[in-house]
Structure 1
Amino acid sequence: MAITLALLLSLFAVSTNPGHTYASTVEVGAKSAILVDAETGKVIFEKEADLTLPPASMTKMMTEYLVMEAIEEGTISWETTTEIGPYAYEISANPEFSGVGLKMNKDYTVRELYEAMAINSDNATTITLTELIAGSESEFVKMMNEKAEEMGLPDYEFVNATGLNNSHLGDNYPEGTEPDATNMLSARSAALLAYHLINDYPEALEFSSQPTAEFDGQTITNWNWMIPGMPGSNLDQFSYEGIDGLKTGYTELAQNTFTGTAERDGQRFISVVMKSESRASRFQQTRKLLDYGFNQFEHKELYPAAQQLEDQSTLPVTKGKEDKISIETNEALSTLVKKAEEDQYEIDYSLSEEQLVAPVEKGQKVGTATLVYTGEESYGNILPNGKQSVDIVTTGAVEKSNWFMLMLGGIGEFFSDIFTGAVDMVKGWF
């Protein structure tokens, strides 16, 4: 009975985030959290999601993105080799930091370095990749902040590529940053960064989903205990179906952080928890969020293609062989919908022209149809333009009328104007 009551209380708890209402949702113990649809960016849960906190090694998601971008642009390749520098070696040799034990005067491939960074959260391999791409971590940090601005992250400050505090780096902290500075991100920004990483470079999940990997003759282990198949029977309790990423983090200042992502039956979610009490709790909170998403939401087509609003199904046409043309949506409108909320959405038409001038082509765009939520819960979006919209187009074509018909129409308009003016003048006499 106690278990049933606890389950009900958890199911019907209400988030206390000011300005947002999330009924029938979950209680998350982390200081800050968010859950979003990985396809549309739609937010379906948040708790203090705009609070800026240290992300710890979740910072490496930005480093991973820039490595992938450099490979795509041809600056480096997966098989490019490099040796580690004194700074990276110093970090690697420090037992206080997670590390794979890099060796001086040894060539490592970009793939090896990336695997150690993405799977084992290694700091020295991260630094080595930044030096390879930008020449120094200082220059790489500039790239990180520029990319964050380009992505539209709402809250961010990158001061190094690893997520360590600058004070951990000694005299090696990046030039242009403060010696005691630390990276800062909000949960919303972390979710948007993860969104760009897995959508722009889905191969990142091929690395983050690996429980273990071989590196320089040793087996390195993923810090994401939720990945199925993790070694160690004590980790079975954390295994979660469909999870394949993305990045854990820990420092004393940040406490435990985790950006997770899981996919089931084509539906993918991105979750972020920040400042969680323990390594275990960050995964327990993530499980709550993902369960809520998978159990309560599903993608649904709410309006099929060729949708027409009853009072806005045509547009007038001038100088054409026809005086109006039919319009409709060119694609279906679908979104992530909470169960029993299918009827709480409607279409809003925004027409670019009040009338068209012939000739008019079939399929010509005349406006935009946007899906609007009319319910009580608040579903925002991590994307700057995150509304679900499709084009409104013409269903056929209208040819321009020939010169004779246009002339007759012009004469008709001329005499009509004269008649109207005369009537108005006579009215004025009386």
Structure 2
Amino acid sequence: MKKTPSVISSYKKPLFVISAVLLLSFTVTVFVRAYTLRRPLPQEPLSQSQKQSLEAVLNQAYPERTAVLRPLPYPVNPAVLDVRARSAIAVNMQNGCVLYEKNADEIIPPASMTKLFVMYVVFEEIKKGTVSLKDTVPLPPESWACNMPPHSSLMFLGKNQIVTLEELLTGLAVCSGNDAAYAVADYICGEMEAFIGRMNAAAEKLGLTKTHFVESSGYSEKNTTTSREMAAFARHYVDTFPETLSLFHSRLSYTYPQEHNLAPEDRGKPRAQDFSQGIPEHITMGIYQKNTNPLLGTLDGCNGLKTGYIDESGYNLALTITRGSTCILSVTMGGPGNSVQEGNAGRIHDGTEIMEWAFAAFREYENPALFREYSVPLVFAKAQRINLVPAYAPKTLSVPVTAAQNPSQAEKEVEVSVELPESIKGRVTAGLEYGRITYSINGRILQTIPLVAERTEKKANAWLCAADFFAQLALLF
């Protein structure tokens, strides 16, 4: 049967209405997409799960993110220094870059540098709230000075003395007291074996495969490390607990015991004692000791860190120097010397040689471009913008003065170039590189850091893809 014009008209009207609605809807979508492309709305902050996912992806793709130490990001000629220790390394504390090294992977006993691990374990417990610096620590006989092995460095702990955890840490940092190391181990874990387990666990967590301990004082030659691994740990220790420098490691001297430390039965007695026949159980005489670090108070900016010596190790020194906003760490191990005087002369020579060179050879450039997001338009994607973030963000960049026209202000000659795409088309994957930041000085590239997507965005459906096509055309006019 042939359809009449009225029937055909009844079909056309709804089709026309539907087409008009679709066209209007599409036009609105095009204008909305064009508007938001020109005036983007800020993205919602990443959720906790998105942050964790991005961290996991970036940590796997960019080992620089988690490395405690790293090479300089540009080639340099190795420095030729007059360093007399068998092994040495210098590290920028802000960015972890190795500035200088000499036989840095040779295994050598750390000696009393071991006590840095002791202090780290203690501060971990303080952070947890399980102990406090003001805690009074009982002293087992194993920690008394009279029971320490021959030639031990001592804080001079004695029977029934009253001592706080803070005072023991001072005795560790300033006097390098083996007795204090035993007292701390007993207080924190109840026994030496358990405490040594904590120290070794800290080394293992940092990936220090050549560092191992059998006791907490550093007296044993079976404790092992390298200058590279000790530098990695020292950087982590100071970065995690920066207050230790001012509270303990920069202290010039310490007198112990003081009146309030004396055992109750020893108070009121004459303080003077004769140690010519050996160290007694009860120690009443206050013994003044300078910090074992010979560069404290003599080398500009010295504020730490720890010495070490046994016959098998030679003279060791972990040294920190802060000048302005720059902090350099050096570790020298196996230093020469037939006496404490000769050993300290070697420490002073090597420490000064390395530090003065490092501060003269590099300038510190802070990276403001690394602490922001870069918003880029998306096309043919469900979202319309994506934030690009640095794959990793070192706090500073060590700038070689030899590359600068004005060496004294080398950091001011650094140029920053940010490369961003005009837009990204289709699906975006979290952690993938879509741009980069380049740091250079006088045409020499110092470092290039990838800019990666902070989240995954799906490709748009056909409707939005078509709208984006026309939105882009609209923005051209």
Fold similarity call, TM over 0.5: yes
8 Å contact from structure 1 (residues 53, 186) kept in 2: yes
Q: Pick one of 92, 101, 110 that aligns with 1:37.
A: 92
Number of the residue aligned with 1:214: 255
CA apart distance, 1:266: 0.8
Q: Pick one of 266, 276, 279 that aligns with 2:344.
A: 279
The alignment-based identity, stated in percent, is 25
Number of the residue aligned with 1:193: 233
CA apart distance, 1:255: 1.0
Q: Pick one of 219, 223, 238 that aligns with 1:183.
A: 223
Q: For 1:141, what is the secondary structure of its paired residue? A: helix
Number of the residue aligned with 2:189: 134
1:233-252 aligned at under 5 Å gives the runs 239-252=298-311
Number of the residue aligned with 1:157: 212
Question: TM (normalized to structure 1)?
Answer: 0.69
8 Å contact from structure 2 (residues 110, 223) kept in 1: yes
8 Å contact from structure 1 (residues 30, 274) kept in 2: yes
Pairing 1:74–2:92 present: no
8 Å contact from structure 1 (residues 91, 123) kept in 2: no
Q: Structure 2 counterpart of 1:209, which letter?
A: S
Q: Pick one of 140, 144, 153 that aligns with 1:85.
A: 140
CA apart distance, 1:203: 1.5
Q: Structure 2 counterpart of 1:226, which letter?
A: L
| C-alpha distance after superposition, 1:31-55 (max 9, x if no partner) | 0000000011100100000111111
Q: Within 2, Cα distance between the matches of 1:328 and 1:101?
A: 54
1:367-406 aligned at under 5 Å gives the runs 367=433, 369=436, 389=449, 391-392=451-452
**Equivalent residues, number:** 345
Q: Pick one of 259, 263, 267 that aligns with 2:322.
A: 263
Q: Pick one of 122, 137, 143 that aligns with 2:177.
A: 122
Q: Structure 2 counterpart of 1:245, which letter?
A: G
**Residues 1:135 and 1:40: Cα distance change in structure 2 (over 3 Å):** same
**Residues 1:405 and 1:314: Cα distance change in structure 2 (over 3 Å):** closer
Number of the residue aligned with 2:294: 225
Number of the residue aligned with 1:318: 380
8 Å contact from structure 1 (residues 62, 144) kept in 2: yes
Q: Within 1, Cα distance between the matches of 2:109 and 2:420?
A: 41
8 Å contact from structure 2 (residues 143, 179) kept in 1: yes
Q: Which moved more, 1:294-303 or 1:32-41?
A: 294-303
Structure (1 or 2) with the greater strand fraction? 1
Q: Within 1, Cα distance between the matches of 2:458 and 2:183?
A: 64
Q: For 2:186, what is the secondary structure of its paired residue? A: helix
Q: Within 1, Cα distance between the matches of 2:386 and 2:165?
A: 58
Number of the residue aligned with 2:364: 299
**Residues 1:83 and 1:373: Cα distance change in structure 2 (over 3 Å):** farther
Q: Within 1, Cα distance between the matches of 2:240 and 2:77?
A: 30
Question: TM (normalized to structure 2)?
Answer: 0.62
1:34-73 aligned at under 5 Å gives the runs 34-73=89-128
Q: CA RMSD in A?
A: 4.2
Q: For 1:182, what is the secondary structure of its paired residue? A: coil
8 Å contact from structure 2 (residues 89, 331) kept in 1: yes
Number of the residue aligned with 2:244: 204
Unpaired runs of at least 5, structure 2: 1-74, 259-285, 337-342, 405-412, 470-477
CA apart distance, 1:197: 1.2
CA apart distance, 1:133: 0.4
Q: Within 2, Cα distance between the matches of 1:214 and 1:282?
A: 24
Q: Within 2, Cα distance between the matches of 1:190 and 1:298?
A: 24
Q: Within 1, Cα distance between the matches of 2:292 and 2:387?
A: 57
**Structure exhibiting the larger radius of gyration computed from Cα positions:** 2
